[in-house]
Amino acid sequence: MTPLIPYFQVPRFSIPLPFMEQPLTVYGFGITLALGIMCGYFYAVNRAQRIGIDRSIFEKGFIWAIVKLSSSYFACQTESPNDRRRSPDAL
């Protein structure tokens, strides 16, 4: 019996940068995620203007939300599992 959803390799791109020892690897999921955030941003700003919300206030709130979500994600990715075992309410 074969699986219904076939496995496929996620595309990734290596970008050599002169100031880094190893090339920067960009995955297809990250590109798709960034495009989704950008499309959501433009749609939400357009919708806020139609409703009557000031564009600059909405943009600042949206950017701060993205910064908060990104920093929370990176904090969880960089901590070791032992940190959570020692202090479970540290997050």
Between CA 35 and CA 11 the distance in angstroms is 16
Task: Give the C-alpha distances (Å, rounded to integers) separating 47 from 41, 61, 91.
Answer: 10, 14, 34
- Is 59 part of a structural domain of the chain? yes
**Structural domain for 67, as ranges:** 25-78
pLDDT score of 90: 53
This prediction has a pTM of 0.60
Reading the block at residue 84, the tokens are: 């959570």
Confidence at residue 36, expressed as pLDDT on a 0 to 100 scale? 92
Please state the rounded mean pLDDT for residues 49-63.
86
Classify residue 61: in a domain, yes or no.
Answer: yes
Residue 33 lies in a domain: yes
Give the pLDDT confidence of 2-51 residue by residue, as tens digits: 667 777 777 888 888 888 888 888 888 888 888 998 998 899 889 988 99
29 inside domain:
yes
Of 64, 30, 33, 59, the residue nearest 46 (C-alpha): 59
